[in-house]
Structure 1
Amino acid sequence: MEQFIWNWLLVLISLLGLPAIFAWGLTTVNRHTKANLVNRYGINSQVYLGCLGIVIHELSHLIMAVIFRHGIQSVRLLKLPHLNQTNGADDDLVLGYVNHTWSQASFYQSIGNLFIGVAPIFGCTASLLGLDAWLYPGLAQAIFKIADHPFDPDWAGSWLALTTNTSSWWQLLLLLFLTILIVIGGFDLSPADYQNSSLGLVTMLILLTVATAIFSIFDQHAGQILSVITSFGFTVGLILSYSLIVSLIIMFITKLLPLRR
């Protein structure tokens, strides 16, 4: 029983806990950044500086909605928001959208709501990891060396990969620029995203509990399964950690910019 509880906690922390904590932190920070940009450069500035992230955000929703066989009603990967100050209509502040429907009678489609809601977190994480592998391979290798053994990370090997597989200045500058475009617009989960995720959360908790109980009982491969799960969670956590650091720096920089007159 003790082993099952330990395995269950590792699975929940790796697959749900870490992404949820970072999602909350990144959403909070990047909302402040967007507010700073809007106050200083107008409502469209958040789109200009977060366009790539917004597109990845909506594409992530769309891909998951298709995978879980939801009915796609309408899609807009990127749009400029506007204030309806003249005709008294509601403000249209969304930067993109994926409207979809599902059958509540379908277990598969219902649990898909969780994956669809949090998809931008993993979509943006995968995009950043891909950019690292392309523009700064040493950074990607360093992340994997730490994440491969989360309870005994290879710090020396990670540092060696980071310092020996360096990139040119323009690659680093391009990586920084694209990272900024992604973190500003991509990681901000909307209230609708959280609400959508909650629809499948209880079902997912039940599934993870049952799955953990099964591989804990038949523990011949339990160690290997847990190693894969924790490595995945740690990799996501590392990417989201530096995304949060970049987001915090951007938030403070935009806070220091002069207000519009």
Structure 2
Amino acid sequence: MRKLDYNQTIIDIVEWIREYVESANVNGIVVGISGGIDSATTTSLCVKALGKESIIGLGLPCSSVPQDLIDGQIFAENLGIRFIIIDLTNTYNEFLKSASASINSNQLAMANIKSRLRMITNYFIGQSLGKFLVAGTSNRSELAIGYFTKFGDGGVDFEAIGSLYKCEVREIAKLLNIPDVIIKKTPSAGLWEGQTDEDEIGIKYDILDEILYRIDNSLSMVDLNTDIIKLVKDMIEKARHKNSLPPVFTINS
């Protein structure tokens, strides 16, 4: 893995956020705070960039683990930002009730509704309270393999930590004084009970990060497991549509 100057990286990201928000001529940033390390790190960077008065944190439980909301709320309160809780559970259940009358679905399709409901809510709050950008909270590891919901948590205005591998986010979080209870929490998208990132992906983040780093930099992987390398490359290929704008048919005149 690369050796970053994490203190300088924080300075660079903070300046990048500040410049982007200023260029967009908006009032601030909305961040969905899940109680996990990625959203906490993103929120802290946004506060450093703009100040706590310009950041709105959202707690959006949707048949979620109660402790995650508690952790997110305590974190937001300690940062001193405004924190709004909107429980989407009833909305989610009503949608499923209506949709299930016409189609049989599956666990992943239903779980992705949660992420898309949160995206809708992020933008609703941002537009209702003024001109606010929606901050994404995905890291490089997730973006590379498509471990996000298209038009869900992938529906954002910018990705402040999108160039940081998961292991690097942990180091940045420590320097930002993110609470240990959040840093050490098992990574989970919270899409269903007992779900964890690494179980769903099928690879530990530390291994995934190393493979992605070598792929990104065209480095040798002769010492790594070939089956796992193939799995990662397959995920990257399948995720290409998630990381691109919709293709547009061009008429040849």
Give the TM-score, by structure 1 length.
0.26
Q: Which structure features the higher share of helix residues? A: 1
Q: Which of the pair has the greater relative contact order for Cα pairs under 8 Å at 6+ separation?
A: 1
Give the TM-score, by structure 2 length.
0.27
